[in-house]
């Protein structure tokens, strides 16, 4: 373990975004985001389908548990809800977790909001939850997300070839991860 002092600042607040708890009104934004075909098809490898507002209410009510932490991403300016980020499938005994995130508001994509939310969440995972590894997967045609993950310090660990079928084409599923010491190196 490296003996170093890490200047953390605010645990949940950056310059562009803040990580927030869910509110009952979030379901309205979720219903809108998940009716956007582009967002749906970049977010998940499952087939795109529309869901009712009640289904999203149930999903949001059950999003946290003993092995998961979910945040809403809110833009500092205007306090607008723009996305979500979650640490899920936490294995406390191994100090590992998986991450998923989405910037649902199209006007906030590729402008640094997701990268900052990632940095805040990684800081939370490694310092507050004392985890050792954060992993994720991303579809190979999602260049914006891949760039954001790499900017935050994630490295490519593997590929599941031809895993995702979209519009008559096959795409790889890229597995990425970051270890605590790699994250610490991004702070220097």
Contact status, residue 45 vs residue 61, Cβ threshold 8 Å:
no
- Of the candidates 155, 156, 88, 77, which has an alpha carbon nearest to the alpha carbon of residue 116? 77
Where do runs of H (alpha helix) occur along the chain? 26-33, 37-43, 53-61, 113-123, 143-151, 180-186
| Whole-prediction pTM | 0.88
Q: Which domain holds residue 139?
A: 17-186
Flag whether 168 is in a domain: yes
Per-residue pLDDT in tens (0 to 9) along the chain, 188 residues: 444 444 556 899 999 999 999 888 888 887 788 777 777 777 777 777 777 778 777 776 767 789 999 999 999 999 999 999 999 999 999 999 999 999 999 999 989 999 999 999 999 999 999 999 999 999 999 998 999 999 999 999 999 999 999 889 999 999 999 999 999 999 88
Flag whether 7 is in a domain: no
Flag whether 11 is in a domain: no
The CATH number given to whatever domain includes residue 27 is 3.40.630.30
Flag whether 12 is in a domain: no
How far, in whole angstroms, is CA 63 from its chain's centroid? Answer: 13
Flag whether 123 is in a domain: yes
């Amino acid at each position: 373990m490296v003996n170093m002092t890490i200047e953390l600042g605010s645990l949940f607040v950056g310059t562009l975004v803040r990580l927030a708890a869910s509110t009952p009104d979030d379901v309205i934004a979720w219903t809108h985001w998940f009716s956007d075909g582009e967002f749906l098809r970049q977010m998940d490898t499952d087939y795109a389908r529309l869901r009712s507002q009640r289904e999203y209410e149930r999903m949001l009510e059950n999003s946290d548990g003993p092995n998961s932490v979910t945040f809403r991403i809110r833009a500092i300016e205007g306090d607008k809800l723009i996305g979500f980020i979650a640490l899920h499938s936490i294995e406390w005994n191994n100090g590992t977790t998986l991450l998923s995130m989405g910037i649902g508001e199209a006007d906030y994509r590729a402008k640094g909001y997701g990268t900052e939310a990632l940095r805040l969440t990684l800081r939370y995972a490694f310092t507050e939850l004392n985890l050792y590894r954060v992993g994720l997967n991303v579809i190979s045609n999602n260049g914006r997300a891949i760039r954001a993950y790499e900017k935050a310090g994630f490295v490519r660990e593997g590929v599941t070839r031809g895993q995702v079928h979209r519009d008559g084409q096959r795409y790889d599923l890229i597995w990425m991860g970051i270890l605590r010491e790699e994250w610490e190196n991004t702070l220097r």
